[in-house]
Amino acid sequence: MKSSFFKNLGPIKFTTIKDHLECKPISIDEGDSFNEFTSIKNLKGRGLSFLTDTHFLKENILSDGAIICSKSIYKNIKKTNPLIIVNDVHSAVAKLSNIFYRSLTNSEIENLEEPKIDNNCNISQSSTIENGAIIGKNVNIGPGCYIGYNCIIGDNSSIDCNTAITNSVIAENVHIGRNSSIGQQGFGFAISKNENIKIFHTGRVILQTGVNIGSNCTIDRGSFGDTIIGQNTYFDNLCHVAHNVIIGNNCIFAAMTGIAGSTNIANDVMTGGQVGIAGHLNIGSNVQIAAQSGVLKDIDNNSSVMGHPAIDKMKYIRKYKKNYA
């Protein structure tokens, strides 16, 4: 995925990669180089990707690009891609994300085109609009806001005071409440004995038409893909959406809902207040999750759950009556 928000430093030679990783190459020559470092879904050409778990072997590997993996995963790979075998894939991903990518420098941002602001906009003089940004028609931006370089704000959208938006594409008719932060670095890092290594996130936040974000909300950009909020989805105040989360249309999330990274949520999902949803889950369509529930596993379509861990609502009620009635 090409991004206008980050600088791709590729091609990176394998000799450089070898300087940072203890690794064993398979079908890779010393002189080989790689154009980008990305997810398996986006791997193409002379790209480099990674597999952290056998779960991801379900993905169709359509490219001949190289893959970083552990010895155990290597034994399960059927496709004959070039491989780089390492002991700790998470640590390798963190290190390589910072070798391949960086944010734009101040001088690079200054060299971008001045922001394009369409007709009938109401933008506070105390707000900052960086170069490269595109602001649509009839947009309202309150005091103290920050719109980062190359961000897009669609027609008829409104952003309340003291909100920061970076690395984001926002459609028309979107509302974002005050003191919110959209598009910042996600909470992704590799844990090792000697240090924690931050993974440089190169994705975006995409807010589709009619999204409504409350006050004091945070939505992290994707790591190697995008964080996406579907049409007409509403967030109450004090909600958090982590990196790579994909949410469908017409969902409603009450205050203090937290959604961990890489979870997929389908259409027409509703949560009560203080719901926590673990990472890498699939939540089906037309699901209702009661307040203060902790979701630790996938939920099927048309389900209603509650409790911690969240289970079928009626089962929970029967269990509660049996134990406490």
In a domain, 253, yes or no: yes
Pair 191, 292 in one domain: yes
Q: Total structural domains in the chain?
A: 2
Of 81, 103, 125, the residue at which a domain comes to its end is 103
Any idea which of 72-76, 93-97, 205-209, 313-317 has the lowest mean pLDDT? 72-76
Any idea which of 180-184, 197-201, 317-321 has the lowest mean pLDDT? 317-321
Given the residues 90, 201, 240, 243, the one annotated as active site = 243
Q: What is the DSSP letter of 37?
A: B
Average of pLDDT values for 275-303?
98
Residue 238 maps to which CATH number? 2.160.10.10
Is the entire prediction scored with pTM above 0.85?
yes
Other C-beta atoms lying within 10 Å of the C-beta of residue 242: 22
Residue 70 maps to which CATH number? 3.40.1390.10
> Is residue 20 flagged as an active site residue?
no
Q: Which residue has the tokens 């971008």?
A: 112
**Angle CA(79)–CA(204)–CA(251) in degrees, nearest 5?**
100
Is the pLDDT at 80 greater than 90, yes or no?
no
Higher-confidence residue of 187 and 194: namely 187
Distance CA 107, CA 15 (A): 30
Element (H, E) at 17: helix 14-20
Is the pLDDT at 58 greater than 70, yes or no?
no
Distance CA 280, CA 220 (A): 15
Pair 170, 46 in one domain: no
Other C-beta atoms lying within 10 Å of the C-beta of residue 279: 13
In a domain, 1, yes or no: no
In a domain, 121, yes or no: no
3-class DSSP state of 72: helix
Distances, alpha carbon 34 to alpha carbons 12, 268, 298, in Å: 5, 41, 36
Pair 79, 190 in one domain: no
In a domain, 74, yes or no: yes
Beta bridge partners of 246: 228, 264
Is the pLDDT at 324 greater than 70, yes or no?
no
Pair 233, 99 in one domain: no
**Backbone φ/ψ region at 280: left (φ over 0), alpha (ψ -120 to 50), beta:** left
Of 73, 103, 133, the residue at which a domain comes to its end is 103
Pair 47, 173 in one domain: no
**180, 184, 188, 194 alpha-carbon torsion, rounded to 10°:** -110
**Angle CA(102)–CA(107)–CA(110) in degrees, nearest 5?**
110
| pLDDT band at 185; cut points 50, 70, 90 | very high
pLDDT at 1: 42
In a domain, 156, yes or no: no
Q: What is the pLDDT of residues 248-257, one digit of tens each?
A: 999 999 999 9
Question: Which residue segment(s) compose the domain that 168 sits in?
Answer: 163-324
Is the pLDDT at 191 greater than 90, yes or no?
no
Pair 217, 318 in one domain: yes
Q: Which residue has the tokens 């309202």?
A: 140
In a domain, 236, yes or no: yes
Of 57, 75, 103, the residue at which a domain comes to its end is 103
**Backbone φ/ψ region at 316: left (φ over 0), alpha (ψ -120 to 50), beta:** alpha
In a domain, 150, yes or no: no
| pLDDT band at 193; cut points 50, 70, 90 | confident
pLDDT at 194: 79
Is the pLDDT at 2 greater than 70, yes or no?
no
Is the pLDDT at 8 greater than 80, yes or no?
yes
Across the chain, mean pLDDT equals: 93
Pair 96, 168 in one domain: no
Q: What is the DSSP letter of 100?
A: H
